[in-house]
Amino acid sequence: MKVVTKWGGQRAFTAVGDSGYEVNMDATPAYGGEGKGCTPTEMLLASLAGCIGIDVTMILKPYLSSVDRLEIETDGTRKEELPKGFTSIVVTFIIDGQVDSKRIWRAINLGKEKYCAVSDSLKADISFRLILNGEEQTKMGPRQDEVEQ
């Protein structure tokens, strides 16, 4: 799977994946953006909700006709210092309908433990590569504290 993300000026980016759909992202004005898209951290929370939601609805497929409403709220707590990554995320399922809570909890747990690629990816190792002017740069540049001001 591949997503290509292109800079649109200032802090704006547009990402396009294999599906062909575009996602616009931007920073808030506090970080030099214009707020013309979701922030990347909002996208992370939305991706988690969408992924676990798809899994839960697949598992509960025989009971979906009994579901009147299904909403997922993701509430992330972030560190105060940089980088302001998430320290915890609470995923709340709000469901109205005639489905036994044990079935729903089973679906949520199966999604989390066995099927949700996004929650599993939050544990992933991340590496970076640099291609500058068409050439891959194999050496890491100077540390930030070594860069001349």
CA distance linking residue 112 with residue 100, whole number of Å: 19
Q: How much is the mean pLDDT over the chain?
A: 91
When computed from its CA atoms, the radius of gyration of the chain, rounded to whole angstroms, is: 20
**Can you tell me the mean pLDDT for 52-74?**
96
pLDDT interval class at 139 (50, 70, 90): confident
Beta-sheet pairing, 13-17 with 22-25: antiparallel
Residue 88, both tokens: 């915890």
CB 70 within 8 A of CB 93: yes
Per-residue confidence (pLDDT) for residue 149, from 0 to 100: 45
Region 2-16 average pLDDT: 96
